Amino acid sequence: MNQNKETTLVATKEYTMTLQKGPYQNNGANPWYTEQAHIGHGEGTFGIFKICFDTGARFCWITSTQCDTDACMWFNVPEGSDPEHRKRFRPQSDDYFEWIQESPTVTIDFGPWGKMEANQASDKLFLAYDSGSYSTDGTLTANLYLVTNYEGPQFKELNWEGGYGISTGRNLDKYGFHFIKTMVDNGKLAPGPEISFNFKKSTEPDKSTGTVHIGTENIPDDVVKESEFTLPVTSYSDDYNYLWLMPLEDITVGEDIITFRPSPSGNEKYFVLDSGASQLKGDDWAMNQIYSLIKNAQNSGQPLPDIKFHFFINGEKKVLVLTEKEYLSFIDLGEDAGTTVVDVVPLEGLGGIALVGSLMMDHIFTRYIYDKSPEVIGTEVKIYNKVGGPVIIQDEQA
């Protein structure tokens, strides 16, 4: 199956899509999504789905009409509310649809987070779709996993109906595809593209909004440009090199230096900003220590310590700081609804990795940047503080 069906080169375009924030749920997934990145057709309609652009994944997936589990059929809603139906993708519903492998199904493994079953197909994807119109420059054919089964609270609590993986281009999934490379190869993007996220969280849920931009540099006005911090992408192991892994010196909580499990390279530590995630999670040794130190302070009535991520990049020392205002999360819906949690979670199998999602990304502007090589490889992440927001990026004090 040729995943690059689009062959006509067109003028380079910029694609900006509005983000909406759903209820914050205790499942580790980013609550943000867009309804302006469509695929194929849904149940009787054009494919208007809630989609997450996920830098922690290396494939595209969508909930299929072939899945009839409770988690596939319905969104989580507050007790006593009317059920909200989850839109599902209808295979063979348009002229662009093609099966890659209808059977047998394959298992998609999200590691410690969970698994789902899916068939493989391809269909037309539409970027920056707005009010019934779209530009043909923003269309491409995408390989998809059509989910036929997922169960469990983590999936029921997803605010999305599908996810588009935005990997570094390393160690691609066997049946997936390189989203950004496909756009470059088909003239939809110029060489050296980037994808950026600007989440604008509000204390009033209906006023939380944001944007995801695919194209060239596009720094919004609410960004403190002088705070720019560039983190190079590095290698971990073949299994996880699709992630945007960046070198990390240490994590401290108050005066305590956190201990990590050995990573594949020994004692190296890694930092990941994952647009598909919400919590701080990763190395189980490290996360258990962080959680315990905060809970101990909380239980003894002491001031809650900051979580600090320390970096030494090209002779420059920087620190990223999460205070209790960032790492204490109120759960809107689902498991633990109505409570405030220390949003730090251990995951087995991620020795040396600290991964954080919207806990931090809600308060910074983030750019994921690719090189100009034919392989279109992610090489660096640039982050910025935002005007009027918490000062996440700071100079390391001597």
Mapped to the 3 state alphabet, what secondary structure does 98-151 carry? EEEEEEEEEEEECHHHCEEEEEEEEEEEEECCECCECCHHHEEEEEEEEEEECC
Residue 293's SS3 state is helix
Tokens linked to 145: 């996993």
pLDDT at 203 over 60: yes
> What pLDDT does residue 132 have?
55
pLDDT at 152 over 70: no
Integer CA distances (angstroms), 391 to 173, 264, 325, 376, in order: 37, 33, 12, 32
Distance, CA of 3 to CA of 185 (rounded, Å): 11
The pair phi, psi for residue 221, each rounded to 5°, is -70, -20
Q: Model confidence over 95-106: pLDDT tens digits?
A: 889 999 888 889
Residue 239's pLDDT band (cuts 50, 70, 90): confident
Strand partners, 270: 247, 353
**CB-based contacts of 327, cutoff 8 Å, min separation 6:** 280, 294, 307, 342, 343, 344, 359
Q: What angle do CA 155, 263, 116 make, to 5 degrees?
A: 20
pLDDT at 387 over 90: yes
Q: Model confidence over 351-373: pLDDT tens digits?
A: 999 999 999 999 999 999 999 99
**CB-based contacts of 183, cutoff 8 Å, min separation 6:** 140, 189, 193, 214
> What pLDDT does residue 12 have?
52
Say if residues 398 and 246 touch (Cβ distance below 8 Å): no
Instruction: Give buried/exposed letters for 142-178 (b at 16+ CB in 10 A, else e).
Output: bbbbbbbbbbeebbbbbbbbbbbbbbbbbbbbebbbb
User: Whole-prediction pTM value?
Assistant: 0.93
**CB-based contacts of 305, cutoff 8 Å, min separation 6:** 253, 254, 256, 293, 294, 297
pLDDT at 397 over 90: no
Which domains does the chain possess?
Answer: 15-200 (2.40.70.10), 220-395 (2.40.70.10)
> What pLDDT does residue 1 have?
38
Q: Which helix (H) or strand (E) is 190 found in, with range?
A: none
pLDDT at 278 over 60: yes
Residue 85's pLDDT band (cuts 50, 70, 90): confident
What torsion, rounded to 10 degrees, do the Cα atoms 50, 55, 56, 59 define? 70
Integer CA distances (angstroms), 151 to 68, 102, 113, 156, 158, in order: 10, 21, 12, 7, 11
Distance, CA of 215 to CA of 183 (rounded, Å): 10
pLDDT at 29 over 60: yes
Tokens linked to 285: 């040794």
Tokens linked to 90: 């209808």
Count of residues for the chain? 398
What torsion, rounded to 10 degrees, do the Cα atoms 370, 250, 309, 259 define? 120
Tokens linked to 76: 């989580």
Say if residues 47 and 89 touch (Cβ distance below 8 Å): yes
Q: Model confidence over 221-236: pLDDT tens digits?
A: 999 999 999 999 999 9
Say if residues 163 and 61 touch (Cβ distance below 8 Å): yes
Say if residues 126 and 107 touch (Cβ distance below 8 Å): no
DSSP string computed for 15-60: EEEEEEE---BTTSB--EEBSSEEESB-SSSB----EEEETT-SSE
Q: Model confidence over 5-16: pLDDT tens digits?
A: 343 334 458 899
Integer CA distances (angstroms), 108 to 111, 115, 168, 199, 378, in order: 9, 6, 19, 28, 23
* Strand ranges in 268-315 using DSSP code E only, listed in sequence order: 269-273, 280-283, 307-313
> What pLDDT does residue 398 have?
60
Distance, CA of 2 to CA of 178 (rounded, Å): 13
**CB-based contacts of 245, cutoff 8 Å, min separation 6:** 233, 234, 235, 236, 270, 271, 272, 353
Handedness of CA 35, 39, 42, 46 (dihedral sign): positive
Distance, CA of 124 to CA of 37 (rounded, Å): 11
